[in-house]
Amino acid sequence: MKFRLFYIFFFLLFLSNCETTKQNKTQINLDLKPKYRNAGFALIYNENLSKIKKLEDRTLNIYHKSLKRRSLVKITNPKNGKSLIAEVISNKMKFSKFYNSILSTRIAEELELDYNEPYVELVLISKNSTFVAKKAKTFEEERTVAEKAPIDGIQINDLNIQVKKKKKDIKKKFSYSIKVADFYYKKTAEIMKDRIKNETSLDQLKIITLSPTNYRVLIGPFNDIKTLKESFEKMNLLNFENLEILKNV
């Protein structure tokens, strides 16, 4: 009798441990779920964009193709390191997949984007992250100020100070590549490279070894935005989920 009770107790304890382990594994998987990240060209809103609902100039809002409405994203200008938090207000606008978002004029001005080369990095911020908890209040304050302040701001010139002539910026060479994906095995990367070559007319394909377990398939480099856009749109015919455009250093 005692042996039977001991056996039942041991069996129940074993089931309890299995359930705990299962829950822990589930929790780990949720924590490790990758968040959205993309580098590429943005489209700065203007009145000439057809069939695009007006995006107010002073807002810190963006249009995106896949992120949920009310999502918060960190937008960074890699050229100067400036960044801000913006809110996705719609994912139903139809625009070219070449652009990773449509930005307001305010965002472009705040980040000092080059209108001829508006290259940005987008990172989705999880709502339960400590970053959002600390920055939520700041974001609301910045958005309120942005909506009320004039785009050009107010400048006060001191006539007693001689204006120094700005040095002309040296125009950097336009050079970008399309990142298809990263792979754990080189053989898998080679299979992807062959598939792209067979199913498209693209031939500027290469595999970069980042580490012994990380192989990146790239297309490029491209020295003008027209060719880059044409190649990007050809890749979209293969239905890749998150193609990125990387600036070549």
pLDDT in tens, 111-147: 999 999 999 999 999 765 544 444 444 445 555 554 5
pTM, to two decimals:
0.68
Rounded distance, CA 73 to CA 129, Å? 12
Q: What is the pLDDT of residue 242?
A: 85
pLDDT at 244 over 90: yes
Q: With bands split at pLDDT 50, 70 and 90, how would you rate the model's confidence at 240?
A: confident
Q: With bands split at pLDDT 50, 70 and 90, how would you rate the model's confidence at 164?
A: very low
pLDDT at 27 over 60: no
**C-alpha distance from residue 13 to each of 4, 16, 17, 18, 121 (Å):** 14, 5, 6, 9, 50
* Phi, psi for 107 (deg, rounded to 5): -65, -45
Q: Where in the chain is the domain with CATH 2.40.40.10?
A: 37-130
Lowest mean pLDDT among 35-39, 148-152, 241-245: 148-152
pLDDT at 15 over 80: no
**C-alpha distance from residue 27 to each of 19, 23, 132, 154, 223 (Å):** 12, 6, 21, 51, 45
Q: With bands split at pLDDT 50, 70 and 90, how would you rate the model's confidence at 183?
A: very high
**Architecture per CATH, 37-130:** Beta Barrel (2.40)
Q: Where in the chain is the domain with CATH 3.30.70?
A: 176-247
Lowest mean pLDDT among 103-107, 146-150, 153-157: 153-157
Residue of higher predicted confidence among 8 and 32? 8
- For 176-247, give the CATH class: alpha beta
Residue of higher predicted confidence among 189 and 23? 189
Interval 225-246 mean pLDDT: 89
Q: What is the pLDDT of residue 20?
A: 43
Lowest mean pLDDT among 10-24, 26-40, 72-86, 217-231: 10-24
Give the residue among 142, 146, 155, 154 at the shortest CA–CA distance from 105.
146
Q: With bands split at pLDDT 50, 70 and 90, how would you rate the model's confidence at 30?
A: very low
Q: With bands split at pLDDT 50, 70 and 90, how would you rate the model's confidence at 171?
A: low
Mean pLDDT of the chain: 78
Q: What is the pLDDT of residue 157?
A: 39
